[in-house]
Structure formats: C-alpha cells, structure tokens
Amino acid sequence: MQTIAALYVETGGSYYGLDDIDCWDEERDARLYPGPYPVVAHPPCQRWGKLWAGQPLWIKRTGERKIKGDDGGCFEAALRDARKWGGVIEHPFGSHAWPHFRLNVPPRTGGWIQADEFGGWTCCVEQGRYGHYARKPTMLLAYGTERPELDWGKSEAKFPQWAIDKHGLAYCKRAGELAFQGGGVDSSPRIHTPPEFRDLLVSMARSV
C-alpha cells in the first residue's frame, strides 16, 4: 500500500496508529518534510479565517491584532509539498489563503474546478456529510490525485437541542454550529478530522 505523509496533524489524532501513514505533528514540524511520499496536509487555519485578527473581545480589551496569513509559512510549505509530491490540502471554506496564493475559489455548493496553472484542482465539501458534528464547509486542493465525485451540496445548519432550549434559535444561528462543542483550551472537537473524511483524503493521496 502506498505510504503517505499526514502533515500538520493533531498529536495522537485520527491519523495516528494507521498503517503506512507517516504523521507530522507540531513537534516534528511539517515545514521540514523532505518527501518523498504524497501528502495529506492540514496547515493551521487560524490566521487565514474570518477571525484572522483574533477574537473581537480580545482585540477590544487589549488592542492587539494578529497579522493575516501569519502562520509561520505553514500553508506555503504545504502548497510546495503538494505540488512537488502530489496529494491534497484541506482548509476551511472562505480561507484567505486561496486568494493570497492566487488559487481559484470553488463554489460553496460543490464540484471540482481548476485551481491554478500548476495542475491543481479545488472544491468545497461539507465535513458534516462525512461524520463531523457540524456542516464545516471545507476546501480541498489536490495535485496529481484522482478527483472523486463527492457528497456535494449546502446543508441547513443544525444545532443541539439543549442549545436551542437554552439560548434560542436566533442566538444559535449568530454563534454558529462550531460554538457548542470544544473551544477554550479544548478545540479538539472542532478541528478533529472524522475517520470517514480522513479516509477520503488518504485515498486521494494514495491515488497519486
């Protein structure tokens, strides 16, 4: 079976303990990945998302704002590795990394489109269709892989009944689906890659 490298993954997370997967967590520093295996890359997204500057209350209290794209070069390194060795990168839909690196932004409703002039293809798919508790729309960027037909579409938001009972539906919609699991010192439920989605990405990388 084709070995693949899982880059920027959570220590002890869903990629660990699987055969023929070379895991690179924060301690190993995936920016130093030397090849030669195809990659599944999950570069950190905090500085590329809607709240790239930081939490609004923190900014209001301290005046401190983060720098957009200041991820220590992780996304740039992941892009370099995917183009060189083949594989797939995932990032949240709306990530500023796509326009920053001149990648075409795919439609929210799904379907593969050409990403760039380097043979990349990109799409948007909901991780909620592959086992995540929230919809979690996610962009994929693939080089040299098969491009499978995925479970496309834009779903309606779903919230836990306890949250609706406690806060009301209007509040839940403003807060977003990810607000009701994880957060603070434990973001694992939000960033965890469901096994079904992980297996999809691994199968794409192994098709290189």
Compute φ and ψ for 5, nearest 5 degrees. -105, 125
- Tokens standing for residue 169: 């539906």
Which residues are bridge partners to 7 per DSSP?
A: 24, 41
Q: Mapped to the 3 state alphabet, what secondary structure does 32-85 carry?
A: HCCCCCCEEECCCCCCCCCCCCCCHHHHHHHCCCCCCCCCCCHHHHHHHHHHHH
Higher local confidence (pLDDT), 160 or 102? 102
What is the number of alpha carbons within 13 Å of residue 28 lying toward its C-beta? 15
138-174 tens-digit pLDDT: 999 999 999 999 999 998 777 777 777 777 878 777 7
CA–CA gap between residue 208 and residue 161 (Å, rounded): 43
Residue 61 has a pLDDT of: 81
Query: Which of the 8 DSSP states describes residue 31?
Result: G
36-64 tens-digit pLDDT: 999 999 999 998 978 775 677 777 788 88
**pLDDT of 185 higher than 70:** no
Task: Find the length of the chain.
Answer: 208
